[in-house]
Homo-oligomer: A and B are copies of this chain.
Amino acid sequence: MAAAEPEAPFAYEGLDRIFHEKARLGIVSSLAAHADGLTFSELKGLCGLTDGNLSRHLLVLDEAGYVTIEKGYDGKRPQTRCRLSDDGRERFADYLSVLEQVLRRATRAAARTEDPTRPLRPRPA
């Protein structure tokens, strides 16, 4: 049996909007896979983002404390390296576990209409 239902079972309170946004979900997943970080160009390629979009989303992640951004040099060329912070990694793991529950609930909901014999939640009079 599932635990007691919250008041608004489809409010998805725990689903952190910072990670949930599609482009940022890609950025953070990429960074999660690379403990020593990725350069701005590598991230652009992995996530299929423009310079402007990637900068904008990195700023949001930086302001939340979820990534660190280091400006340095690769030889003579300026290079920006991005890493997931420890806090970012922990919060991302939390987000993924909430997302898994959300997905499970939605899949169950979607399956319910496909079986019309299964009783629906009674509607208030």
- Inter-chain CA distance A9–B46, complex, in Å, is 6
Q: Which of B13, B27, B116 meets A10, CB within 8 Å?
A: B27
Instruction: Report the copy number of this chain in the oligomer.
Output: 2
Give the dominant DSSP class at A's interface: helix
Question: In the complex, what's the smallest C-beta–C-beta distance from A39 to chain B, in angstroms?
Answer: 8
Output the least CB separation between A19 and chain B (Å). 9
Interface residues of A in 1-40 (CB under 8 A from B): 7-13, 15, 17, 20, 22, 25-30, 32-36, 38
**Residues in B whose Cβ lies below 8 Å from that of A27:** 10
State the A residues within 8 Å of B (CB): 7-13, 15, 17, 20, 22, 25-30, 32-36, 38, 42, 45-49, 84, 89, 92-93, 96, 99-100, 102-103, 105-110, 112-113, 116, 120-121, 123-124
